[in-house]
Amino acid sequence: MHGHRALGCAASLALALPLALAGPAALGEASVQKKPNDASSATAVLFQWDRIAIATVYPAPPATATPIPVGTLYLGFASLAVNDAVQTSLQQGHTSVRAAIAQSAHDVLAEYFPTARADLDASLSSTLASVAPSTAKAKGVRIGRDAAADMIASRMQDGRNKTSITYDLAPGPGVWTPPPTGMLAPWLGYVKRLVPSKPVAVGGPDALTSTAYAHDFAEVKRIGSLDASEADRSTHDTETALFFTTNTLFAYQDALMRYLDAHPLGVSSSAKLLATINASTANALIQTWRLKREIGFWRPNQAIIGADTDGNPATDADASWQPLNQSLPPFAPNPPYSDYSSGHAAVTGTFAQSVRNYLGNAVPLRLHSMVTNTERTYLTLSSLEDDAFMSRIWLGIHFRHAMEDGYYLAHQTANRVTAHLR
pLDDT of residue 327: 78
Q: Where are the domains of the chain?
A: 1-23+209-422, 35-156
Q: CATH says 1-23+209-422 is which class? A: mainly alpha
Alpha-carbon Rg for the chain, nearest whole angstrom, is 22
List Cβ neighbours of 149 (8 Å cut-off, separation of 6 or more).
107
- What pLDDT, on the 0 to 100 scale, is given for residue 332? 79
> 93 vs 41, 44, 89, 262, 274, CA distance in Å?
16, 19, 6, 27, 22
Q: Which amino acid is it at 287?
A: Q
Nearest to 395 by CA among 334, 336, 337: 334
3-state secondary structure (DSSP) of residue 175:
strand
Query: For residue 1, what pLDDT is reported?
Result: 41
Q: How far apart are CA 128 and CA 138, in angstroms?
A: 10
Amino acid at 110: A
Burial class (CB in 10 A: 0-12, 13-18, 19+), 7: middle
Q: How does pLDDT run along the chain (422 residues), one tens digit per residue? A: 444 443 333 333 333 333 333 322 222 333 333 333 333 499 999 999 999 999 999 998 767 779 999 999 999 999 999 999 999 999 999 999 999 999 999 999 999 999 999 999 999 999 999 999 999 999 999 999 999 999 999 999 999 999 999 999 999 999 999 999 999 999 999 999 999 989 999 999 999 999 999 999 999 999 999 999 999 999 999 999 999 999 999 999 999 999 999 999 999 999 999 999 999 999 999 999 999 999 999 999 999 999 999 999 999 999 999 999 997 877 778 999 999 999 999 999 999 999 999 999 999 999 999 999 999 999 999 999 999 999 999 999 999 999 999 999 999 999 999 999 98
DSSP at 313: T
Helix (H) or strand (E) segment spanning residue 154: helix 135-154
pTM, full prediction: 0.91
Distance separating alpha carbons of residues 161 and 190, to the nearest angstrom: 10
Separation between Cα atoms, residue 338 and residue 168, nearest integer Å = 12
Distances (CA, A) of 299 to 58, 146, 302: 26, 45, 6
Q: Over the range 317-328, which residues count as b (16 or more CB within 10 Å of their CB) and which as e? A: eeeebbbbbbeb
Give the CA-trace dihedral at 86, 90, 92, 94, to 10 degrees.
110
Q: How deeply is 201 buried, as exposed, middle or buried, from its count of CB atoms within 10 A (0-12, 13-18, 19+)?
A: exposed
